Structure 1
């Protein structure tokens, strides 16, 4: 008996097991370190190949739990492939995470059944935590269908001074994600989108408001919503926290507060620590100011 010959009720149960059911999923990329031969085997062994679009010696990471380390700016996630305790190459991509995407591509009938089933149930309960910028690329290329089950999306990372005037592909991916979830007639409505982006450098404040900055990309692609922004300015960098919630009348209501960012000097938090909210994976549906750094 083929899969499509099974009763619809049984197929829907199978679809449920294929879906992401965890309360939190973290998506990003890890830098690989270690000896040359070990690195080559990790990247190319057993007919593997690097994910196009990632920097050299980086590996996609999709975790079915919350990982502040994968989102960290001050201590980026790294894997020593020469260490006996290093994880195997597939440690970040459990097979059930890719099953839903594969099912959607099988044929039109399965795609329609999946889309109708999850839209009717409307029981989204997964929070997606996405590393910026590389996590957006991993999200789009490895698991774009996770947005179907997302209740909320939380983005964290760093945006250094661009070395070229050309907009990065990750900013295009950010624009697409915001438009799909909080744009006009969103395909995948969510309860909240948060982005905490750190701009390194004492002269970084003007870059926050550049047309090509992540904050500007988010603002341009939100059709209507409660938009709360918090700008933290410091000696070593600037952080911007953007919180967006849908507005019942599709209006734009914007508020902004400015705070002092204390970091980088003796006895102070490390530069970039601000990018990861200390309360995550817990989050408030309403806007909540950043918790003070310890």
Structure 2
């Protein structure tokens, strides 16, 4: 008996188990290190090509599981090409979630999933996305992972100087927020967290610029419980934005300010704040950041 000859009820149970992604997926970009010939082969060998939109000598990374190093500002993950295995996503193919792969199997499976399968009951994955390049990797390599997302957690830094890629990254952020927490969101989630670090002792005003990631998030959220923590220090400013849907689509905002101690002798490195020490664990309610000095 073939799979499609099984009773529909049994096939739906199998779909439910097969469609579940892991509890966490981490998405970002890693810098490549090594000798010149190894770097050239890593990026261009076997008909490969660098992903447009990433800095030179960077490679997209999509990990099943949680990786704080992939999100880190102060100690970012790097790939030594002389010892690392070959990239899995050469030739530039798009990564599909398990559920999307099921939709692509054949017309009958697609019809059964579309008619009988309730995706929203199977959203169990937390997406941890590096900012800003992880957003670009997500948008270009695995956009359908949002179908399975229960929560989204963004961590990274926003540079002082304007770059040519910033408008694209902000557009990608806006699209993700509106798709998950906008008006009639296509892929509703339970919680969005963003922890963005602004380097520099004069960085606080940039947090509230119209073009800052914080402003982009606030503009694209349609109602919700919006909790913000602003951590100000001598070397930079961090802002933590937590958004949860409001049942009546009202906008309820709270903001607190804290002192950020970092960068000097005996203190955490600058930017360490961006990665929550509680991750990958998170609470559906608002949870204050790990205590700061």
TM-score, structure 2 as length reference: 0.89
In structure 1, distance between residues paired with 2:166 and 2:67 = 28
Instruction: Classify the secondary structure of the residue corresponding to 2:286.
Output: coil
* Structure 1: unaligned runs, 5 residues or longer: none
Report the Cα offset of residue 168 of structure 1: 2.0
Aligned to 1:248: 247
Aligned to 1:218: 217
1:197-252 deviations in whole A, cap 9, x for unaligned? 00001111000000110000000000010000000000000000000000010100
Aligned to 1:35: 35
Instruction: Classify the secondary structure of the residue corresponding to 2:222.
Output: coil
In structure 2, distance between residues paired with 1:49 and 1:166 = 19
Report the Cα offset of residue 87 of structure 1: 3.2
Q: What is the CA RMSD across the aligned residues, in angstroms?
A: 2.8
Aligned to 2:86: 88
1:83-129 deviations in whole A, cap 9, x for unaligned? x3x23312899x98555445546777765544555535612111110
Alignment length, in residue pairs?
291
Structure 1's 195 and 238: CA in aligned 2 closer, same or farther, altered over 3 A?
same
Structure 1's 67 and 160: CA in aligned 2 closer, same or farther, altered over 3 A?
same
1:163 aligns with 2:162: yes
- For the 8 Å contact 1:18–1:97, the answer to whether it is kept is no
Aligned to 1:57: 57
Deviates most, 155-164 or 248-257:
155-164
In structure 2, distance between residues paired with 1:117 and 1:31 = 43
